[in-house]
Chains A and B, each alone.
Chain A
Amino acid sequence: MQEITGLFKIAEILRGILGHFLPDPQLVDICMSLINIGAIFTIISLTAVVLVYTERKVSAFMQRRSGPNRVGPGGTLQSVADMIKLMAKEDIMPAGADKWMWILAPILLFIPAAAVFVVFPFDNKAIFADLNIGIFYFIAMSSQSVLPFLMAGWASNNKYSLVGGMRTVAQMLSYEVPMVLSILGIVMLAGSMRMSTIVAAQQHTWFIVLQPIAFVVYVITATAEINRAPFDLVEGESEIVAGPFTEYTGMRWALFFLAEYANLLAVSVIATTLFLGGWNGPWLPGWVWFFLKVGGMIFLFMWFRWTFPRLRIDQLMSFGWKVLLPLALLNIIVTGIGMYIYEFFS
């Protein structure tokens, strides 16, 4: 089973080449780590560029428009142009802002968004750090993104931002609980929190077949976690202008944006890994399957965004606590009983 294919093979070849030049195997390891880090950051920054373009195209197509089509062939360079524009923009800090908190917020938001990429299994063995608590690490890191939102909201010295920041805390904290519980079902089935083990366990049956309720709960909570419509109350454009982002301009604002799309990719990757069998799939190489599935998940999230209206904050909370949480708990009970029965008969 463990034949060397795909991304891991590329890494092996690279390692071989480096081995020729560097005498010390430790140096080779360090170099490989640096290359991996570079690859992850490339993925994150490319993600934002590609996903912004995709989002605009998807939204345009769903509204029967043609979307960006001026810069580059088919408008593909539009987000590059936007990035350049954002970099050139004036950096405005509101009077009365809490300076350090205000500056730190977008940076602190970006760090956990980037850090979760460490545990993503892009292909068989193509994983930066195959921690034995991979899922746990992901949940722990992604829950860090609550605080920067509140920091940005508080430090901006703007009432819209503050309302947005408070909404974030309420929303993200309450949706984290059912999300964790929905993932728990998978962990029970796979018997491990290690990403590679979970993917390997799905070689024959994807967990979406065994855990459909968990999948639905996960998709809903993930949408809320990354603050996308119909749960985009944090930004809530028509209500609170842009929430915590209201006072940010230029690159600082772009960092929020980058983190948002990195998070979108992150939850899609986790959905693929946990429910859709990761890199498993016939004929095509593993990483192609992986990115196809991730792309499908991203399309699903975009599809939601461009179809649904936004929920209200009280509805959001009651839906999270009164519907999703019991559903996730029920799923765990059913999974437990099912596993017990399965073991009893086999």
Chain B
Amino acid sequence: MVGKGLLEGMRVTLKAFFNKKETLQYPEIKLTMPDRFRGGELKLDNEKCIACGLCARACPNHVIELTTGTDEQKKRHLKSYVYHSGLCLYCNYCIEACPTNAICWDKNYENSRYFKDELDVDCLAISKQKSATVDVAPADKSNAEQEDTLKRREKDE
């Protein structure tokens, strides 16, 4: 019968009308990102970094700009470490290349900015500031991350 398909379709939409909503109300409810989530900005742990520059070389798009220097004991250390998030492809290559797990994602997906130069992140300064202010055991990474997100949330509110 002609029109049966139309009625069937109307049944589908009517059923959907009374069904549970599938969407989340974003600013109030936020999805938890999976463990492997790649996104946000790079987070550098200055104490772990051996300034080998492998991350910058692995990057397909020259996102990481770093300069190194040597101190008195002839040990290499970072002089600057800038992450241009505007160029980033989020391919994870830098993190995979790192021999000491010194960099990771900060898992914050709200990374829109008002100005273009805010997209360039000085990871080294952030890392130094953090180690100076927050006294967290370096092994307890996940905890530190949680605190970090908590703080950011407080700041937002």
Contact = CB atoms under 8 A, between A and B. Distances in A.
Interface stretch (A64-72, A199-207, A278-286): A64-72
A58 B17 contact: yes
A56 B14 CA distance: 15
Interface size for chain B: under 10, 10 to 19, 20 to 34, or 35 or more residues? 10 to 19
Given A303-B10, A307-B9, A308-B9, A62 B16 contact: yes
A61 B16 contact: yes
Nearest to A230: B6
A66 B13 contact: no
B21 A66 contact: yes
B23 A66 contact: yes
Interface in A283-329: 303-304, 306-308
B23 A303 contact: no
Contacts of B6: 307-308
Interface string A48-70: 00000000001001111110010
Q: Please classify the interface of chain B as helix (H, G, I), strand (E, B), loop, or mixed, using the class held by over half of its residues.
A: helix
B25 A63 contact: no
B9 A69 contact: no
B155 interface: no
Interface string B120-157: 00000000000000000000000000000000000000
A69 B16 contact: no
A64 B9 contact: no
A248 to B, nearest CB: 30
Nearest to A61: B17
A64 B20 CA distance: 7
B22 A65 contact: yes
Contacts of A69: 25
B13 A65 contact: no
